[in-house]
Amino acid sequence: MATPKYPTRLTNVLRTLPGALPAQNVPADANLAEIVTRCLQSFETWHPGHFTRDAMWRDSFALSGTMRTFYSGPTIAAAWDHLARHHSPCEPRMVKDSCTVAHAGSDSSWIEARFSFRTNGPLPAVCSGFLSLAYENDGSYKIWVLRTILEGFVGYPSVDTMAREKTLGLQQSTKTDYQCLVIGGGAAGLSTAGRLKALGVDYLILEKLADVGGSWACRYNAAKLHGTRHTAHLPFERTFDDEYSLYPTKDEVAKGCRNIWLSTLIKDGYWDAEKRQWTLHVRRNGNDISLTAKHIVLAVGGGGHIPYMPAFPGRESYKGDVVHSSAFKDGSPWKGKRGIVIGAANTGHDIAEDLLEHGLSVTMVQRGATSNSARAADPDMVPLDYLAPVLDAVYNADFDVELADRIHYSSPAAMTRERSNLLIHSLVKANAERFDALERQGFKLMRFGDFFHHQTERQGGHYVDIGASAKIADGRIKVKSDASIDSFTPEGLHFSDGTEIKADVVVFATGFHGNMRQFVADLLGDDIASGIEDYWGLNAEGELEGAFKPTGHAGLWYMGGGCGHARYFSRFVALQIKADVEGKPLKIYKDTPSVVDGPAAPPPDQVAQIEPAGFSVDNLAVAPGGLAVQQQEWIRV
């Protein structure tokens, strides 16, 4: 098995980030609109006195030209002052009827409001924002969390609106020079291409498979989204209507991606520094073609492309079949036989459940504790729906998807983490028997895991329950977790405790290694790959590395993540490319003002030593019947 030069990068930054909830409640008689209006009146000249000491500002390309999170009132005020002098933010307007009081439990609340504004930099822009105002001991209200978002450029088309083509299908153009080439025809590639088209950027999608959405169609048959269809839409309109399952299968996801498609094999490429353009050599319909473009967007999936299979002695003596999850389709070839699944995260659970449904006796070999978070399996069987209050309150059939994305994806990482952990951990406490039942079967889990950490830093190691946990709890899927694998035997696997489990097939659900830089090295060479950022993981501010912003090389962009990431962040990739095409690239603010008052994000070399800040879930007491309502109010901002 090949070892990547650029391995998957795992970070552990979230626990170090500053961030605490307001310490008191907003008075019941507060005039919300008046308080927000008064705050916005000082918008252009906000100073330290307008912010709480532990305030946070998350800017998404509106003023910083990238994604930045600033910590502490003095730091934010200094950065705001600097950027305001360059971009002249003006015309703040509160969005009508957007003021509300948001709650976290019974002892913390704050005012939430949305607003719009404009900037007058080199490329005048329309922007939006969220204000979170905390009530202070002296009776004043100060900015606790500020979020600012680039919406579009004045005088240019909207990145969020696209007129439909009369016909869709295979692109027949013989053109070879484009402003942007998008590599990958899945959700990330389609979303980016749609945004580019909306802005009038000349683009071409390059997809190696025979059909757009094929990356989903090629997965194992049991694959489905571990989230509802409401989180998976492409931009502009709802892709998955009521004809789709609540948790779409992999074939339904592929079907939803057929608005545009191409079939192309990319051989290699290079950067011409003098012309400042890329050349890609591709093969299509038996013909070799050279394509040129100023920009390339890599939308090929960032979680590694090289299957990872731990090497165990004795494999050559094993008489059964060994397969990695990337090559697994379903359990039909081994119907009625015995199967072992190595790995206990999402894919491992899916495959174990599939083998069970094909009549196999199944054992899941668990190598480490899994963070287990439950949600509904299907509409007529609803176990503990832990993630629903976090996501489904805004991602549903009635709520506007564009607003839901801004609510969900614009928050500072520390607060997104606290929001999800607050709810999930509280439900775990209130429903201990579900986890007791799994542990009685030998399944090891982290009851109080960190779901957001697994998504942004660990890149796996968790299971969002869509049904398999019940089959473990009742013993239909057996678990081996009390010993490590020593070796293969002719009939199965031998473990360190001296036991043997016999099997006719062993499936490695052990994931992949390598990251997007490995793909870049294979396609464009090590000279390019060695000079760009890694993909995914968090930097010291809690911002995703590499993705959706400049990678460190001109005209090269990463796109990926889940369906929601693809839908929302594709708008920013397209806007950055549009600005560059117009000869006015966004100017990136890289400085962090040096101040001594208030918490600041830790420097990169200290992130492993600093103790976490913020509130403790252990001190939270919430009645099971009242939690969902309180949490829904909190995230409805």
DSSP string, 598-617: S--PPPGGGTTTSPP-S--G
Whether 275 shows a pLDDT value over 90: the answer reads yes
Strand, coil or helix: what is 57? strand
Tokens 């039909």, located at residue: 332
* Domain tally, the chain: 3
Residue 437's pLDDT band (boundaries 50, 70, 90)? very high
Q: Is the pLDDT of residue 473 over 90?
A: yes
Range of the domain at 119: 14-156+588-635
Query: CA–CA separation, 247 vs 231, rounded Å?
Result: 10
Q: What is the pLDDT of residue 423?
A: 76
Pairing label, strands 477-480, 485-489: unpaired
Question: Averaged over 482-506, what is the pLDDT?
Answer: 97
Q: What percent of the chain has pLDDT over 70?
A: 76
- Per-residue model confidence (pLDDT) at position 215: 52
Residue type, 555: G
Residue at 548 is within a domain: no
pLDDT higher than threshold 60 for residue 333:
yes
- For residue 229, the domain's CATH number is 3.50.50.60
The answer on 593 and 576 residing in a single domain is: no
Residues contacting residue 484 through CB under 8 Å, at least 6 positions apart:
367, 495, 496
**pLDDT exceeds cutoff 50 at 413:** yes
Q: Do 80 and 20 share a structural domain? A: yes
pLDDT (mean) for 498-526: 92
Q: What's the pLDDT at 260? A: 47
Q: What is the pLDDT of residue 312?
A: 96
Confirm whether 150 is domain-assigned: yes
CA 118 to chain centre: 28
Shared domain check, 348 and 265: no
Domain boundary among 488, 510, 532: 510
| Residue pair 111/36 in contact by the 8 Å Cβ criterion | yes
Q: Determine the pLDDT at residue 596.
A: 56
pLDDT at 9 over 90: no
On whether residue 378 sits in a domain, the answer given is: yes
More confident residue, 17 or 624: 17
Flag whether pLDDT at 206 surpasses 70: yes
Quickly list H helices, 27-173.
Answer: 32-41, 73-87
pLDDT band at 597 (very low <50, low <70, confident <90, very high): low
Same domain for 339 and 216, yes or no, is: no
Q: Does residue 402 lie within any of the structural domains?
A: no
Q: Is the pLDDT of residue 485 over 70?
A: yes
Q: What is the DSSP letter of 575?
A: H
Give which of 184, 224, 223, 228 is closest to 203, Cα–Cα: 184
230, 377: one domain: no
Tell me, yes or no, whether 567 lies in a domain: yes
* Closest by Cα among 126, 131, 127, 125 to 98: 131
Residue that the structure tokens 């000491």 belong to: 53
| The two three-digit tokens of residue 492, written as one number | 């199965």
Task: Point out the domain boundary residue: 493, 510, 527.
Answer: 510
How far apart are the C-alpha atoms of 172 and 168, rounded to whole Å?
A: 11
* Mean pLDDT across 399-425: 85
* pLDDT of amino acid 3: 67
User: Is residue 81 exposed (0-12), middle (13-18) or buried (19+ Cβ within 10 Å)?
Assistant: middle
- Model confidence at 164, pLDDT cuts 50, 70, 90, reads low
Q: Which residue has the tokens 């919430």?
A: 622
pLDDT at 491 over 70: yes
Least confident of 138-152, 183-197, 453-467, 523-537: 453-467
Examine the pLDDT at 163 and tell me if it is beyond 70. Answer: no
Contact between 632 and 102 under an 8 Å Cβ cutoff? The reply is: no
Statement: residue 404 has pLDDT above 80: yes
Any domain includes 448: yes
- What is the pLDDT averaged over residues 249-253? 41
E-assigned strand segments in 125-176 = 125-135, 141-153
Which band of pLDDT confidence, cut at 50, 70 and 90, is reported for residue 146? Answer: very high
Q: Does residue 171 form part of some domain?
A: no
Among 234-238, 240-244, 366-370, 488-492, which is the least confidently predicted range? 240-244
Same domain as 320, residue 280: no
DSSP 286-312: TEEEEEEEEEEEE-S-SS-SEE-----
Are residues 99 and 139 located together in one domain of the fold? yes
Check pLDDT > 70 for residue 363: yes
Predicted pLDDT at 243 = 56
Do 574 and 606 reside in the same domain of the chain? Answer: no
- How would you class 217 by CB atoms within 10 Å of its CB: exposed for 0-12, middle for 13-18, buried for 19 or more? middle
- From first CA to last CA, the distance across the chain in angstroms is 48
**One domain, residues 367 and 495:** yes
Do 78 and 206 have their domain in common? no
Question: How far is 182 from 163, CA to CA, in rounded Å?
Answer: 20
What is the side-by-side strand order in the sheet with 500-502? Answer: 485-489, 492-495, 500-502
- Mean pLDDT to the nearest integer, 260-270: 79
- For the chain, the average pLDDT equals 81
Cα-Cα-Cα-Cα torsion 607, 613, 618, 624, nearest 10 degrees, comes to -110
Q: Are residues 351 and 451 in the same domain?
A: yes
Residue 97: give its domain's CATH number: 3.10.450.50
- Average pLDDT rounded to a whole number, residues 178-205: 90
Range from 388-392, 493-497, 519-523, 577-581 carrying the lowest mean pLDDT: 388-392
Instruction: Give me the pLDDT at residue 390, please.
Output: 62
- Give the pLDDT mean for 450-465: 70
Q: Give the mean pLDDT of 247-264.
A: 46
SS3 of 454, please?
helix
Residue 183 and residue 268 in one domain: yes
Q: Regarding predicted confidence, which is higher, 342 or 254?
A: 342
Residue 128 near residue 116, CB atoms below 8 Å: yes
Q: What is the pLDDT of residue 161?
A: 85
Per the document, the length of the chain is 637
**In contact, 150 and 58? CB cutoff 8 Å:** no
Strands 90-94 vs 109-119: parallel, antiparallel or unpaired: antiparallel
Q: Which residues contact 540 (CB under 8 A, 6 or more apart)?
A: 13, 601, 602, 603, 604, 607
CA–CA gap between residue 142 and residue 46 (Å, rounded): 11
- Nearest CA to 555 out of 281, 270, 162 is that of 270
90: β partners: 118
* 524 belongs to a structural domain: no
Question: What pLDDT is recorded for position 613?
Answer: 30
Place of tokens 């571990």: 226
What are the C-alpha distances in Å from 87 to residues 42, 120, 153? 16, 5, 13
The least confident of 43-52, 197-206, 545-554 is 197-206
| pLDDT for res 259 | 33
Low-confidence winner among 105-119, 510-524, 563-577 (lowest mean pLDDT): 510-524
What is the DSSP code (8-state) at residue 315? G
Q: Which two tokens stand for residue 398?
A: 């009635």
Of 93-107, 299-313, 432-446, 561-575, the one with minimum mean pLDDT is 299-313
What pLDDT sits at residue 104?
83
**pLDDT score recorded for residue 112:** 97
Lowest mean pLDDT among 149-153, 341-345, 520-524, 616-620: 616-620
Give the pLDDT of residue 458: 67
Half-sphere exposure of 440 (CA within 13 A, CB side): 11
Q: What is the mean predicted confidence (pLDDT) over 96-105?
A: 92
